[in-house]
Amino acid sequence: MSVPNLISLIRLLAVPFMIYLILNKYYFSAFWLFVAAGISDAIDGFIAKRMEQATPLGAYLDPLADKALLVAVYISLGKVDCLPSWLVILVVFRDVIIIGGVVLLLLLTEGVKMQPIFVSKLNTLAQIFLVIAVLFELAFKFSDMEQIITALIFLVTVTTIFSGGAYIINWGKKVEKKNGTNES
């Protein structure tokens, strides 16, 4: 197994620990584990690209580890009432739509190449910053984060809606094009 894949696998295996830490209110440890996971994501990407260790397994394992971690953290933070439940539902629903869309594209076309769109990258970044802000506030008892967290919740909401919608529209166009039903 390549080093980047091993790092991604370790990040994936950290998901249950993140859930445990958040649900048991060990926010200081959860904050640092989340930071470590983010650093590991950057490291495995750097190694895969710069040292030519990218593999087909890594192309699936890395985003799977990232999605599993973010979804688990959002659900856990929602469960302990640190994020609004409607936001957790929106974020998870978007990811379910994306996974469902990939499965449908695989069934309806010869394959699917995942190309993250800009708003999706912005959404992921906003989701990460929101988790960092919430865990930072909880870990360090820093109560002056309310406005930042509110702004990040708004940004995550807007980018989640636009990102999910953009994927649905793009995939619809691909299916129409593949099936020859695109009448322009």
Q: Give the CATH number for residue 103.
A: 1.20.120.1760
* Separation in Å, CA 14 to CA 40, 104, 126, 129, 153: 11, 30, 21, 19, 25
Nearest CA to 127 out of 99, 174, 87 is that of: 87
Instruction: Please give the tally of structural domains in the chain.
Output: 1
Of all helices (H) and strands (E), which one includes residue 63?
A: helix 56-79
Q: What is the pLDDT of residue 106?
A: 75
Q: What is the pLDDT of residue 100?
A: 83
pLDDT 10s digit of each residue in the chain, 184 long? 889 899 999 999 999 999 999 999 999 999 999 999 999 999 988 898 888 888 888 888 888 899 999 999 999 999 999 999 999 999 999 999 888 887 877 777 766 666 778 999 999 999 999 999 999 999 999 888 999 999 999 999 999 999 999 988 887 777 777 776 544 4
Q: What is the pLDDT of residue 111?
A: 64
Sign of CA dihedral 13, 17, 20, 25: negative
Question: Does any domain span residue 59?
Answer: yes
DSSP tag of 180: T
pTM here is 0.89
Q: What is the pLDDT of residue 53?
A: 85
Question: Does any domain span residue 96?
Answer: yes
Question: Does any domain span residue 159?
Answer: yes
Q: Residues 83, 26: contact at Cβ < 8 Å?
A: no
Question: Does any domain span residue 184?
Answer: no
Range of the domain at 139: 3-179
